[in-house]
Amino acid sequence: MDVIADYLPARRLAVIRARLRWPELKTRLIPLLDQVYVAVRAGDVVQTGHNVFLYSDPNKEEVTVEVGVEVSAPFPSVGDIEYAETPSGEAAFARHVGPYSELGRTHQAVVEWCTAHGRQRSGVWWEVYGDWAEDPSKLETDVVYALR
């Protein structure tokens, strides 16, 4: 798997924010995303890109998540849906191809690359989910870690 470091611009997002315990990630992320899609379907938020899950402020027990969709411009909050951005700047990233259940190996590859290259992670990372495919072997997800 190829890991690359490069400068990335910020991605504009419509998100719902939550502080979750690590075991809750498997069951709570999609329901949070569903809440964003309620605003998209109502026309309150205009989606212009992919689904993005942004993670920050981790500790041993929990992490802050911002789950949402790409948008073209800032907007005023709509209920619990807020405008957010991924950090701009240097990042290490890799494309995961395959089932979401195997995303962990791509995260591990990026973390190991950072260690091997003496690069410090900032504590913020995200996943950009490509277009849906019925065949799980064709799913593409970018795994990105902001660097210091």
What's this model's pTM, rounded to 2 decimal places?
A: 0.96
Domains of the chain: 4-147 (3.20.80.10)
pLDDT at 88: 97
pLDDT at 128: 98
Token pair belonging to 125: 């990372």
Beta carbons within 8 Å of 64's beta carbon, 6+ residues apart: 17, 18, 19, 20, 55, 56, 57, 58
pLDDT at 8: 97
For the chain, what is the HEC assignment?
A: CCCEEEEECCCEEEEEEEEEEHHHHHHHHHHHHHHHHHHHHCCCCCCCCCEEEEEECCCCCEEEEEEEEECCCCCCCECCEEEEECCCEEEEEEEEECCHHHHHHHHHHHHHHHHHCCCCEEEEEEEEECCCCCCHHHCEEEEEEEEC
What digits encode the pLDDT tens for the residues 17-57?
Answer: 999 999 999 999 999 999 999 999 999 999 999 999 999 99
pLDDT at 1: 81
pLDDT at 7: 97
**pLDDT less than 70: residues of the chain:** none
Token pair belonging to 88: 């701009």
